[in-house]
Homo-oligomer: A and B are copies of this chain.
Amino acid sequence: MEAITIKDIAKALNLSTSTVSRALRNSYEINPETKRLVMEYAERMNYRPNPIALSLKDSKSKSIGVIIPEIANHFFSQLINGIESIAYNLGYHVVIFQSHDSYEREVANTNYLVSRKVDGLLVSLGSLTTNLDHFQELMEKGLPIVFLDRVPKEIETHKVVADNFAGSYEATAHLISTGKKRIAHLTSPIYLSITSERLAGYKKALEDFGLPFDEDYVKYCLYGGKMVAENEAAVEELLNMSEPPDAIFTASDRLTTGCLSVLNRRNIRIPEEIGIVGFTNISVAELLNPPLTAVVQPALDMGQQAVELLIRLIEHPQKTDVFETRSVKTSLIKRESSVGKQALEI
């Protein structure tokens, strides 16, 4: 009842394993008749090559590893769907690992995937990762890596990111256009690429529209909102300022929902007292109270582009002289959290 092997076929057909192998892989140096025989028998016995043996032989596996902070987040799960859709069609399997924003787990996952001989890696950095040696070494050994979303400056390779600067700029400009003057920014740790890019867009918009930039209005959450207490404390701090903000631009899902939840609890009217725009791919943004104005990232598309680049790197390693960083457009969906019901209906 065990899986059938080439050896079994060879024995049954009185051939050598190499002949069977050749027949199966459609080699040219093979008697058509023999080939037919082998193919038929293999088909009948439902032969499937053992991918482990193949991996051992050629040190590759037709699979790509994905390391992301977490899957319980629509942005990342959409990313994965994009990745899978393409990889699947090109004959690659996708192995997913979560770092949970832990540097140690990121390293452990990386090592495991490498020992499992994945052909390439797709990585979105953990928010606590500052040391990149584990990736750097692999790249030097020739393992293709493509980063997406949270990318390192220091490593030269293909990268796919959202246009965080523009998205952020648009969000901030939008809040300004609704008459807000004191716009706070609730964001992730500063050393993440997305953080600084979003911060820059926010600053530029303030500047362009003649509003002062005030460092006190920017709150960095080390855990990106995953520690509820930290997240809520940041919001409370903002609210307790002598001149509290009249709008908050939040940089991620968790940050956004945490913020909403504090404001709701405090019965603060949104957007009248405080307007909200969030960088988020939450699927139910429309159903929130109030419906959330969101900067949405084309996660599916980002995932697809990233695998395409990765697979190109895997299959044509030599052909890559220049690495590209693709920046894909975000879109601002305006809803009541920034515009107010009446205004929207006009």
Taking beta carbons and an 8 Å cutoff, which residues of A are in contact with B? 1-3, 48, 50-53, 55-56, 70-72, 74, 77-78, 80-81, 84, 93, 95-96, 98, 111-112, 115-117, 140-141, 257, 260-261, 264, 282-284, 286-291
Contact = CB atoms under 8 A, between A and B. Distances in A.
A72 B53 CA distance: 33
Contacts of A111: 48
Contacts of A72: 74, 77-78, 81, 283
23 contacts: A1-B140, A1-B141, A3-B115, A51-B112, A51-B116, A52-B116, A53-B56, A56-B56, A70-B77, A71-B71, A71-B77, A71-B80, A72-B74, A72-B78, A81-B98, A95-B95, A96-B96, A257-B287, A260-B287, A261-B287, A282-B284, A284-B284, A289-B290
Kindly report how many copies of this chain are found in the complex they form together. Answer: 2
Contacts of A288: 284, 287-289
Nearest 9 Cβ contacts at the A-B interface: A289-B289, A72-B77, A71-B77, A71-B71, A52-B55, A52-B56, A96-B96, A287-B288, A56-B56
A290 B287 CA distance: 9
A111 B3 CA distance: 11
B112 A93 contact: yes
A282 B285 CA distance: 12
A72 B70 CA distance: 11
A98 B84 contact: yes
Given A52-B117, A289-B289, 17 more contacts: A1-B140, A3-B115, A48-B111, A51-B116, A52-B55, A53-B56, A70-B77, A71-B80, A72-B77, A72-B283, A84-B98, A96-B96, A257-B287, A260-B287, A264-B287, A288-B288, A289-B291
Contact of A115 (B48, B117, B284): B48
Nearest to A116: B51
Contacts of A261: 286-287
A305 to B, nearest CB: 19
A27 to B, nearest CB: 22
Contacts of A53: 56
Contacts of A116: 51-52
Nearest to A288: B287
Contacts of A257: 283-284, 287
A2, A77, A78, A261 pick with most chain B CB within 10 angstroms = A77
